[in-house]
Amino acid sequence: MTVELAVAFPVLLVVALVVVNAAMFFGQCAAFDNLFCDAVRVHAASPAYGQGTAQSVTLVQEAMDQAFPEGNVEVAVRADDAGLGHTRFTGTLRFAPTLFGYPFRSEAFGVAFPRLSHSAQIVVDCYKPGVLL
């Protein structure tokens, strides 16, 4: 019985580690999808007078950084022209695996642990009220 436990325990530990990281990643992805779209709608859909696309990206980035303060999560936001006056905002979430919530090295025994990434896009018409075309 002891031999079986000694053989099975590391395997069970690795499986539990993968399951916990997958659950954390899927939870972060779900929150990211909602928060990213909300941040773009709030900060970029109707920009203030004199606010350009770069300022909108900065505001969305700041909102996302406040929403995801964890050390194992990175968020990047960029904006591209989608044509016809529309702007495409792309947000990318990069998730580093953890050891049951605690950070650990990015490699073990020469094998690198890749960061998982998830992207979301939203296209908005940056309408500026009161501006004549």
Task: Give domain limits for the chain.
Answer: 2-125
pLDDT at 78: 96
Q: In the chain, what percentage of residues exceed pLDDT 90?
A: 48
- pLDDT of residue 120 exceeding 90, the answer is yes
Calculate mean pLDDT across residues 10-20.
86
If one counts every other C-beta atom within 10 angstroms of the C-beta of residue 96, the result is: 18
CB 79 within 8 A of CB 87: yes
CB 61 within 8 A of CB 77: yes
In the structure encoding, which two tokens stand for residue 1, read together? 């019985």
Residue 123: pLDDT band with limits 50, 70, 90: very high
- pLDDT of residue 131 exceeding 70, the answer is no
- pLDDT of residue 38 exceeding 60, the answer is yes
Which amino acid, 87?
T
Residue 91: pLDDT band with limits 50, 70, 90: very high
- pLDDT of residue 33 exceeding 60, the answer is yes
Task: Enter the pTM of the model.
Answer: 0.82
Provide Rg for the chain, Cα atoms.
Answer: 20
pLDDT at 10: 85
